[in-house]
Structure 1
Amino acid sequence: MNKQLKRVSILIFLMFVALMTSTSIIQVFQADNLAADPRNKRTLYDSFDVERGAILVNGVPVAQSMPTGDNYKFQREYPQGDLYAAVTGYYTIDQGTTGIESSMNSELSGTSSSQFLDKINRIVTGQPPQGASVELTLDPVVQQAARDALGTLQGAVVAMRPKTGEILAMVSTPTYDPNLMTSHDSAEVIANYKALLADPAKPLDNRAITGSLNPPGSTFKLVVAAAALESGNYTPESTFANTGGYQLPGSSSVVRNSWRGTCGSGPTTTLLLGLTMSCNTPFAELAATMGNTDLHAQAEKFGFGQDLGIPTKVTPSIFPRTQDSARTALSGIGQADVRATPLQMAMVSAAIANDGKLMKPQLVQRVVAPNLSTISEFEPEVFSEPISSATAETLTEMMVNVVSAPNGSARTATIDGVRVAGKTGTAENGTVAPYTLWFTGFAPADDPEVVVAVVVEDGGGLGQNGTSEGIAAPIGKKVIEAVLNQ
């Protein structure tokens, strides 16, 4: 009898172990998979049961949750739609989340660790669950100015404060209306998403920080000039042969200036004149002489190749770690395999504007609890110190010359009564494809309040006849004026 009881006891024990194991696997190890299963409507209902916090710009909601009469209880709404789409992203039932809606999801949904006590308090007091609001660093006047300046062009603008890293504007065009993604009709959401995804203009791409990155063209000459000055072997007056053409090392190909002429009138040209006129020949020669290792190191200090969250994830800009001398020379003029986001080129200018100290870019000013208390607040953070203050001062004066000199390549960025520092770039995308047009700069040069970077794709609609001075620089000027005129 005892032997039989022992066998039954062992069997019951094993059954309990099996039950506990299977329950643990389901509740712990498979929890994420079950929650993500599209057939699990309870999870979907629960995620919309909480009044999601608002996303605010200057205290005004640019994303908010409105009550509904269906099972989801709340629906996300974007009052200014496409103006802030590149920043807010969208929060939807079947197509996930993007932008700030994604990167700040735990705060907006009220599930972050910093909101634990508030969540308990609301349960105890019987208050309905509610997420925190997220206040952005954006300036609505500057955001609107950037959007208006881009108009129907395909491109992006980033504006930021160089002393703090606060992003004042982030616009990507063509844009889209995130309200198309908030319906509680899954079929409608999926149809809208597929239509946006199929659009050849790629409105879902945030060209300011992601998407198919562009070669930065001559704006990258700022990085090359910084590396040269930092080496101690070059000054603005350092000279280069002025033959109108530079033969790439180990190649029969020749780099020429865009106007097919020389860089000035003399037998030699200088680093300063090369930057002012945006000459390709001295910078290709300089890049080949310095070598890929030094240029890569300098680019990396500015942020190339580094992961960055603002808190939205940013696609790292690219400067190849290894390449031959010919491609290094082409990289010196922002071509070959160099690729950059507008945010990255804004960071290059920001370091120059801020005495060589690069502040980490940031989109979130603070997180505010439902009772209006501040949960967390933005604090300026140093990202890197890519150049010395002396180099920053020299580059600033060189960039001012680019805008103010009679032969400067960014004359259209001139603002009466203000010293503007700037640099244009016109990047090639093959022999017949439209150019990519760039501008980056800051003002006032003596005490910078704003840094801007502009990219215009598809030649601004003019193919290879579009110029950075004619299209990109005036956009940058309008954004800078929007800041300075407040």
Structure 2
Amino acid sequence: MNKSIRITSLFALVLIVILLANLTWIQGFREDELAQNPLNSRNFLEAKSTPRGQISAGGQILAESYQDDNGYYQRQYVTSPQAFGPVQGYLSDIYGAAGLELGYNSVLNGTDSSLFTSQWLDVLTGAPTRGANIELTLDPDLQQTAYNQLSNNGYEGAVVALRPSTGEVLAMASSPSFNPNAIVDPATAENAWAEYTSDPQSPLLNHATQESLPPGSIFKIITTAAGLENGYSADSSVTAEAAVTLPGTNTTLTNYAGQSCDGGGTTTLQTAFALSCNTAFVEMSVDVGADALRDAAEDFGVGETYDLGIPNVPGGLGEIPDDAALGQSSIGQRDVEMTVLQAAVMAATVSNGGVRMEPYLVSRVTGQDLSELSTHDPDSAGGIEPEIAEQLTALMKASERNTAGYTGADIASKTGTAEHGPEGTPPHTWYVAFAGDVAVAVLVKNGGGMGTGATGGAVAAPIGRAVLQAAGGLN
């Protein structure tokens, strides 16, 4: 073999080695990166050629796929799309995915590793590849009731109802909402997207899980738990004065409308809780300390997120540098923030004898033949002592009676009216409650049109009671 042939052969061999190394690198180390690249049209065509699984709740189909004239599968939302929109989300060729459509995408499109066995059965039997279905814990009637209570009144806010014994999310309504069909349909997508994204009330945001706000007096449940865990009882003596000066400052903090609590002087913790006396909770929080308040908040899940398949933010207490900040935090103001989901978990924890259950939205995954592929097992996530929960239940029942509650119903509740923004801004109004094996949290933002005089008892409480009644929790 002459020199030229040897050089050419060696060069060809080097090129082959480089090619093999490059193929190995791409196939072995960059497959996910390239395969999942949004510019890879093969993924889009493959996804559109596969029937996606259904989303259903209570035996009703919420989302399904249908085949168009070109043989591609399109998504449609068939049951009350605006009531379920913030939870189920959307799957758009233009704007991507959101909600459970995104969180459970690999299950719905059939590529999830948990579906390995069913995928291979399809291969062996020659059956076409299909996505799996997800069944939600939502009660369709309760979801519609919660949504109607918000939307029919023109409220901006959210409602979450849970089953305390399991953590099932029975309702998760957000208002204003959106119609996912308008985003999915190419004929309306651009205009709908422009409308929704420019709306200052953020209809594409799930206000139940993606927005944390000052909770106001519903946070007194947590402050009371901290007190009960550190020597207080319902009969403990606390201040009933109309105002208190925050420690180390000249700042005065008052009760609602500057009123004294139970005539002034001193009163019991039970009366202070029922009348929601700010001054008593400032005094008690400073006595038990910031660490006790933080521990109690953690016990109730404030600062945590949950694996729901949808985005949720943690909330938190913020910084508490001194006793003045502690006093403000004790009544759910200053830097304290909670989501409506966390507020519902708080109420559910008390209802469930102190056991905090992980909330969840997807109860089962089924195949296209509706055979069960997996099911969710309820799981606890901590909580408080049973005797603390028992005392809180009694205090919350007294609070409901004071809030002109539902006659004859055995509801335990707490209202909240949270200041925010510049002076003169209408407050956010809250209500948390439980009856039977149902717990509910309601947020109506910016006073619900009732101005600066809005209260949780007047605005949010009627919604919570309507949801409890629809759930069968009331006698």
Shorter-normalised TM range = over 0.9
Task: Give the conservation status (yes or no) of the 8 Å contact 1:155–1:207.
Answer: yes
Task: Give the conservation status (yes or no) of the 8 Å contact 2:240–2:277.
Answer: no
Three-state SS of the structure 1 residue aligned to 2:346 is: helix
Q: Which amino acid aligns with 1:117?
A: T
Task: Give the conservation status (yes or no) of the 8 Å contact 1:434–1:463.
Answer: yes
The CA deviation at 1:312 is: 2.1
Residue pairs, 1:398-477, within 5 angstroms: 398-404=395-401, 408=402, 410-411=403-404, 413-414=405-406, 416-430=407-421, 431-443=423-435, 448-477=436-465
Closer, same or farther in 2 for the Cα pair 1:5/1:433, shift >3 Å?
same
Given the alignment, which residue of 272, 280, 283 partners 2:278?
A: 280
Q: Distance in 1 between matches of 2:457 and 2:325?
A: 26
Given the alignment, which residue of 143, 159, 162 partners 1:157?
A: 159
Task: Give the conservation status (yes or no) of the 8 Å contact 1:75–1:184.
Answer: no
Given the alignment, which residue of 271, 287, 290 partners 1:292?
A: 290
Q: Deviations over 1:34-68 (max 9, x none)?
A: 44545432221111111111101111111111111
Q: Distance in 2 between matches of 1:161 and 1:172?
A: 19
Q: Distance in 1 between matches of 2:210 and 2:21?
A: 43
Residue pairs, 1:72-87, within 5 angstroms: 72-87=72-87
Q: Which amino acid aligns with 1:153?
A: Y
The CA deviation at 1:244 is: 1.0
Q: Distance in 1 between matches of 2:3 and 2:270?
A: 97
Q: Deviations over 1:235-277 (max 9, x none)?
A: 1111123221111112111110112111111410221111100
Task: Give the conservation status (yes or no) of the 8 Å contact 1:66–1:77.
Answer: no
Task: Give the conservation status (yes or no) of the 8 Å contact 1:296–1:320.
Answer: no
Is 1:66 aligned with 2:66? yes
Q: Distance in 1 between matches of 2:285 and 2:19?
A: 67
TM-score normalised by the chain length of structure 1: 0.92
The CA deviation at 1:434 is: 1.5
The answer to which of 372-381 and 176-185 deviates more is: 176-185
Which residue number in structure 1 is paired with residue 176 of structure 2? 174
Which residue number in structure 2 is paired with residue 93 of structure 1? 93
Three-state SS of the structure 1 residue aligned to 2:91 is: coil
Closer, same or farther in 2 for the Cα pair 1:321/1:20, shift >3 Å?
farther
Closer, same or farther in 2 for the Cα pair 1:163/1:294, shift >3 Å?
same
Q: Deviations over 1:93-122 (max 9, x none)?
A: 132211111111111111112222222222
Three-state SS of the structure 1 residue aligned to 2:90 is: coil
Q: Distance in 1 between matches of 2:250 and 2:29?
A: 61
Task: Give the conservation status (yes or no) of the 8 Å contact 2:239–2:264.
Answer: no
The CA deviation at 1:128 is: 2.3
Three-state SS of the structure 2 residue aligned to 1:281 is: helix
Residue pairs, 1:82-481, within 5 angstroms: 82-150=82-150, 151=152, 152-184=154-186, 188-211=188-211, 213-231=212-230, 233-320=231-318, 322-385=320-383, 387-404=384-401, 408=402, 410-411=403-404, 413-414=405-406, 416-430=407-421, 431-443=423-435, 448-481=436-469
Task: Give the conservation status (yes or no) of the 8 Å contact 1:293–1:321.
Answer: no
Three-state SS of the structure 2 residue aligned to 1:474 is: helix
Q: Deviations over 1:174-220 (max 9, x none)?
A: 001010121246xx534422321111111011011113x21000000
The CA deviation at 1:311 is: 3.0
Which residue number in structure 2 is paired with residue 15 of structure 1? 15
Is 1:484 aligned with 2:475? no
Q: Distance in 1 between matches of 2:434 and 2:170?
A: 13
The CA deviation at 1:145 is: 1.3
The answer to which of 83-92 and 64-73 deviates more is: 64-73
Which residue number in structure 1 is paired with residue 50 of structure 2? 50
The CA deviation at 1:70 is: 2.8
The answer to which of 77-86 and 116-125 deviates more is: 116-125
Three-state SS of the structure 1 residue aligned to 2:46 is: helix
What are the ranges of 5 or more consecutive residues in structure 2 without an aligned counterpart?
Answer: none
Q: Which amino acid aligns with 1:473?
A: A
The CA deviation at 1:380 is: 1.1
Task: Give the conservation status (yes or no) of the 8 Å contact 2:319–2:335.
Answer: no
Three-state SS of the structure 2 residue aligned to 1:221 is: helix
Identity of aligned residues (%): 36
Task: Give the conservation status (yes or no) of the 8 Å contact 2:241–2:264.
Answer: no
Q: Deviations over 1:365-384 (max 9, x none)?
A: 11111122101112110011
Closer, same or farther in 2 for the Cα pair 1:25/1:349, shift >3 Å?
same
Task: Give the conservation status (yes or no) of the 8 Å contact 1:274–1:282.
Answer: yes
The CA deviation at 1:32 is: 4.3
TM-score normalised by the chain length of structure 2: 0.94
Q: Deviations over 1:327-373 (max 9, x none)?
A: 11111000000111111011111111111101110111111111221
Task: Give the conservation status (yes or no) of the 8 Å contact 1:55–1:61.
Answer: yes
The answer to which of 116-125 and 241-250 deviates more is: 116-125
Task: Give the conservation status (yes or no) of the 8 Å contact 1:95–1:190.
Answer: no
The CA deviation at 1:71 is: 5.9
Task: Give the conservation status (yes or no) of the 8 Å contact 1:135–1:367.
Answer: yes
Task: Give the conservation status (yes or no) of the 8 Å contact 2:55–2:133.
Answer: yes
Q: Distance in 2 between matches of 1:69 and 1:429?
A: 53
Q: Which amino acid aligns with 2:414?
A: K
The CA deviation at 1:398 is: 0.4
Three-state SS of the structure 2 residue aligned to 1:328 is: helix
What are the ranges of 5 or more consecutive residues in structure 1 without an aligned counterpart?
Answer: none
The answer to which of 70-79 and 419-428 deviates more is: 70-79
Q: Which amino acid aligns with 1:484?
A: G
The CA deviation at 1:485 is: 6.6
Q: Distance in 1 between matches of 2:198 and 2:473?
A: 40
Q: Distance in 1 between matches of 2:276 and 2:473?
A: 29
